[in-house]
Amino acid sequence: MEDEERHAWRGRAVLYERDVAAVGRDTCRGPHYTSRAVDADSLLDIDFRIAPADLGLAPHGRLVLTDVTCGGATWTAPGSVLLRVSPTRAYITWGGVFFLLARQT
């Protein structure tokens, strides 16, 4: 992903609710969320090719991985995989880039 495209993601709205999931213009009505706690070391190293420390995780840390499906099918959109690394920090990934989510009130 080029720098210009990466910077365009700043401020993009992300929404995960019971009846809708949305990342920017990509919207899923009737999402299903499947979450599981996983060892960050193996998941991040193997699936995402990133060191857990790069996301602020301690060695041998754990995270909650949430897969989002839409209408019973794979949702191929940014935000279809959510990596929650702490109660206050989560990431989505797209185009090889990790985006930190910030909750707004």
Q: 23-27: which pairs have CB atoms within 8 A and are 24 or more residues apart? A: 23/77, 23/78, 23/79, 23/92, 24/78, 26/77, 26/78, 26/79
Question: Mind listing the pLDDT tens digit for each residue in 44-93?
Answer: 877 888 888 888 888 788 899 999 999 889 999 989 999 998 888 899 98
Q: What is the pLDDT of residues 20-54, one digit of tens each?
A: 999 988 999 999 999 999 988 887 877 888 888 88
State residue 46's pLDDT score.
Answer: 73
